[in-house]
């Protein structure tokens, strides 16, 4: 299982590249993180944690 989390406001590597990456990996889930740049874990730690927990809970 693959989760691709990406900051919507990433000025270094645009979110479109993250979406593209998720599209290349079979079955990957794309999770944009609002109001976050390249360092998602610093810009939006609560939102990233929520996305990760949701992903892990969805696994069989």
Given pLDDT bands bounded at 50, 70 and 90, which one contains residue 7?
very high
Q: Where are the beta strands (DSSP E) in 2-60?
A: 3-7, 29-33
Q: Distance between CA atoms of 38 and 55, rounded to whole angstroms?
A: 20
Work out the mean pLDDT of the chain and round it to a whole number: 98
- Confidence at residue 9, expressed as pLDDT on a 0 to 100 scale: 98
State which residues form the domain around 9. Answer: 3-57
- Confidence at residue 59, expressed as pLDDT on a 0 to 100 scale: 96
Q: Distance between CA atoms of 32 and 56, rounded to whole angstroms?
A: 16
pTM over 0.75: yes
Cβ-contact 10, 4 below 8 angstroms: no
- For the chain, the domain total comes to 1
């Amino acid at each position: 299982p693959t989760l691709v989390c990406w900051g919507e406001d990433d000025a270094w590597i645009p979110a479109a590249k993250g979406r593209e990456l998720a599209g290349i990996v079979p079955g990957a889930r794309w999770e944009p993180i609002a109001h976050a740049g390249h360092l998602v874990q610093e810009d939006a730690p609560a939102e990233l944690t929520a996305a990760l927990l949701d992903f892990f809970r969805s696994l069989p």
